[in-house]
Structure 1
Amino acid sequence: MADYEERRSLLGDGDEGSSAGRRTAGRPMWAICDPSHLLHRVVVLLFMCFLGFGSYFCYDNPAALQTQVIQDLNLNTAKFMQLYAWYSWPNVVLCFFGGFLLDRIVFVVVFKRFHCVQVIFAAGALVNHFWLMEAGRFVFGIGGESLAVAQNTYAVNWFKGKELNLVFGLQLSMARVGSTVNMNIMGWVYSKVVDLVGSPGHTALGASLLIAAVTCLFSLICALVLAFLDKRAEKILHKEEGKTGEVVKLTDVKDFPITLWLIFIICVGYYVAIFPFIGLGQVFFIEKFNFSPAEARAVNSIVYIISAPASPVLGLMVDKTGRNVVWVIIAVVFTLAAHMMLAFTFWNPWIAMSLLGVSYSLLACALWPMVAFVVPEHQLGTAYGFMQSIQNLGLALIAMAAGSILDNRGYLVLEVFFCTCICIALMAVVLLYFVDYLRGELHFPHSPLFPFPYCHRFISLVMPYQ
């Protein structure tokens, strides 16, 4: 029975489609070639995970080389953070349309090709033209978050069911491997290039970034294979026959439930306090804690180092408990505590950053799969696209604001600003818990771990129509 349910969760009526595929072929398939078999799905998952490796490796190239970029190109912090803002700006629009198109066609390869023009960013450093580096980040960003939308939607299509949180965790784990390798290897790559060219400067910086761009070619190969496997599964399992006939429209956005909008707010409020902070973290640890550049890079990357192995484990835990909303609350509270430690204490930052790494992994495993529970399946691409679009709007604005705050007010005010963003996310997730209690839309059991154990009774008294 369990095997039957597992097969039905794969691309619709897996058993019937698989049988039809076998009859069409006239002979049984090997397990690794059968899209309804677990072994084949494991292979697909492998390519899904590697799909984002190059993207995440190159995304944080500026953070890994923050000191070098600022010194070699003679920039201030606000100008440096423009590299992150320019990455996010195109995705304010393209993530939404990317998700909209994904409900109809496989477009992941097209956007992955945009990723490979990371070389423009490297070329800008080589010739010492910062505007060209900004243009490179803009073009690189065209494919970045749209690729993440494709990755998320592929995960739901292949693994919707009890293992979905684990799959999201595995994807995040591999993405964080890319970020971790970037954080810890790019400084070494830069030093080796300096040895070759004879002195530090924009030439050494550009050559280092050009070497990093090679990782995008690896991810492009994974995108090609994944697109082929997905199309092949549609044919073998006759996925088209099971479609509802519903057509995705841009006007579907107005029909999104309030729970989805609260998920959007949580996403923005949380992530704007993570990625811009990591982008500025290297100099922060050098100036406040007197770390060496190597030590600063190491502690700045601990969030990624922890999330790589922790994400699958935490994803499995969320799968087993099913209390996604509660886990998101815990993650947001722990993140707020970590930022407050960094802002107001001189405790060893490894403590706060380790806590930040665990909470970041937990939130990603619990938050993103919730979208699949609150919108119809034919709108998943649109919902994930809109979520990424709003997230990138927040990241672009906060990246510019963070650079300006740091130049004018310093790190303490910047950390208070990040704490405020986390508090907004915390208010949204608590409201999400209340709304879900009243509507039951997320279908998650109400947890005794919720920090206010008498809220159920209170809501029942003040909202008798529930």
Structure 2
Amino acid sequence: MSTSTISTPLSALPQPSSFYRWMVLLFVSLAMFGNYYIYDSLWPIVDLLREQRNFSYQQIGWLSTAYNIAALCVLLLGGYIIDRWGTKKAITLFALICLVAAAVTAFSPNFETMFAGRFMLGLGAEPLIVAATTVLAKWFKGKELSFAFGINLSISRLGSASADWSTGFASPLYVNWQDPLWLATAVAGISVTAAILYWILERRAEGRYDLGVADSTDKLEFKSMYAFSASYWYIVALCVVFYATVFPFRSFAIDYFQQAHGLDREAAGILSSLLPVAAIIATPLFGLWVDRVGKRALFMAVGSLVMLPLFLMVTYLPAGPDVGIMIPFIGSAVVPLTLLLVILLLGMVFSLIPAVMWPSVAYIVDSRRLGSAYALMTFCQQIGWAIVPLAVGYLNDVYLAGPENIDGYTPGMWFYTALASLGLYFSYKLWRTEQGPGSHGLDSITTKRPVVSAEQHPG
């Protein structure tokens, strides 16, 4: 923010009330809700794109990767824009880009046009996530930071779950591939509205509350990467392989449940939604717990260990008996027990690791470089995330995956498992580093203990 218009010294201004901080969290999270819905709206129509548009699995992979390519192009600049312009302008701009992207994706059956829409979505959505993360670090650092991150992730993932649930509550739209994408465009309006409301809140807070002195911006350059600590880079590496595993799996999950396990679209959507639903419930609880007990590096290692066998379990274990599941006000389905257990465990991991990983960066990086640090972390995340959908789509096509050849999906599951093993390695290295003299206090900082200063441990 600019301090040139503030006449009252910052030290004389009161701190924002808890209510004000939680309102900021609400509107930023609603902006993320629409963002997540738009991204995940494509996955319930994978089979329709293959049947009605004759898309291959690799083309579906390209529609996912288009998002990541755009994110790679814009994230470094996006981090600088956030640091330079401030979060309120950045979030509104990026939300508007997401709205236009959703409309472009729904507009034409042409693959190239859909690719362009998904590319545009990457230009807006990933910098929006970085901006939202920076907002939370600014308003909640030293307070309920992990809990706030957990609430933010829960509301965001409600957008993902809602996209899966649309196979039920909006089932008449699924007679063709296009109408569900127009619904996603309407939902994009939530992001824009929430972003504007956040802008209003922060603008009103400037000059009334002590929001901290505006730090000088730090343009991210690759030659300055050495300035970040080993712990930061282990977190980045874990981030890369974790999201390159979970998000591409979600991209193909509904189609996989339909083709390999014989579920109908609504049942597959409900089962897939249990992953973000588990995260919605558990992420803020994990965040609150970690704020109180610390042990952040240990929790990341435990989550990585739990994830390691899950994709082999879903491939090789017997399906088990069918069990009924029901989500109030959404719908019910009958699914194999093994699939249900794997998705619930993956949902717990999907809650634990992000709830600990993202706020940990705020404790090991100087606040003046936080926007750039999150942008760099997300930039690296996109590299892995861009490659995996193409690789899995290629494997599915080469091995002729489909309902007549269920074994064709197995190589993709082994690929996910290899990535999960790398996540376990990087989380173990982080834990070992945080036990030594170079520790930043990730395992010791709690809400009852003071935050280690960035000057003591410059990230």
Same fold judged by TM-score > 0.5?
A: yes
Structure 1 letter corresponding to 2:128: L
Match of 2:327 in 1: none
Is 1:370 the counterpart of 2:360 in the alignment? yes
Measure, in 2, the Cα distance between the counterparts of 1:168 and 1:397.
27
In the alignment, which of 180, 185, 207 is matched to residue 166 of structure 2?
A: 185
Cα drift, residue 187 of structure 1 = 5.4
Aligned to 1:52, the other structure's residue is in SS state helix
Is 1:103 the counterpart of 2:93 in the alignment? no
Q: How many residues align?
A: 407
Is 1:394 the counterpart of 2:374 in the alignment? no
Q: TM-score, normalised to structure 2's length?
A: 0.84
1:148-193, Cα deviation, whole Å (9 max, x unpaired): 000100000000024111011001100111111110114552x423
1:69-108, Cα deviation, whole Å (9 max, x unpaired): 2212111111112111011111113122212221221322
Match of 2:335 in 1: none
User: 76-85 vs 294-303, which deviates more?
Assistant: 294-303
Q: TM-score, normalised to structure 1's length?
A: 0.83
| Matching of residues 246-257 of structure 1 within 5 Å | 247-250=218-221, 251-257=223-229
| Matching of residues 33-44 of structure 1 within 5 Å | 36-44=16-24
Cα drift, residue 243 of structure 1 = 4.3
1:432-461, Cα deviation, whole Å (9 max, x unpaired): 1111222343303479xxxxxxxxxxxxxx
In the alignment, which of 48, 54, 57 is matched to residue 28 of structure 2?
A: 48
Match of 2:103 in 1: 119
1:311-342, Cα deviation, whole Å (9 max, x unpaired): 11111111111111111111111111322211
Aligned to 2:42, the other structure's residue is in SS state helix
1:221-274, Cα deviation, whole Å (9 max, x unpaired): 11112123223333333657x345574453543311111111111001111111
| Matching of residues 334-349 of structure 1 within 5 Å | 334-347=306-319, 348-349=338-339
Is 1:140 the counterpart of 2:121 in the alignment? yes
Measure, in 1, the Cα distance between the counterparts of 2:11 and 2:197.
21
State whether residues 360 and 442 of structure 2, in contact with CA within 8 Å, keep that contact through their aligned partners in structure 1.
Answer: no
- Segments of 5+ residues of structure 2 without an aligned counterpart are 1-7, 320-337, 400-407, 446-459
Match of 1:383 in 2: 373
Q: Which runs of 4+ in 1 moved over 4 A?
A: 243-249
Measure, in 2, the Cα distance between the counterparts of 1:73 and 1:396.
23
Cα drift, residue 115 of structure 1 = 0.6
Cα drift, residue 385 of structure 1 = 0.5
State whether residues 216 and 368 of structure 2, in contact with CA within 8 Å, keep that contact through their aligned partners in structure 1.
Answer: no
Measure, in 2, the Cα distance between the counterparts of 1:145 and 1:319.
26
Match of 2:40 in 1: 60
Given the superposition, is the C-alpha separation of residues 88 and 247 from structure 1 closer, same or farther in structure 2, using an over 3 Å criterion? closer
Aligned to 1:93, the other structure's residue is in SS state helix
Measure, in 2, the Cα distance between the counterparts of 1:228 and 1:301.
33
Measure, in 1, the Cα distance between the counterparts of 2:290 and 2:242.
19
Match of 1:149 in 2: 130
Identity %: 26
State whether residues 434 and 443 of structure 2, in contact with CA within 8 Å, keep that contact through their aligned partners in structure 1.
Answer: no
More helix by share: 1
Cα drift, residue 364 of structure 1 = 0.8
In the alignment, which of 328, 335, 341 is matched to residue 351 of structure 1?
A: 341
Given the superposition, is the C-alpha separation of residues 55 and 247 from structure 1 closer, same or farther in structure 2, using an over 3 Å criterion? closer
Measure, in 1, the Cα distance between the counterparts of 2:168 and 2:48.
9
Structure 1 letter corresponding to 2:431: Y
Measure, in 1, the Cα distance between the counterparts of 2:79 and 2:200.
19
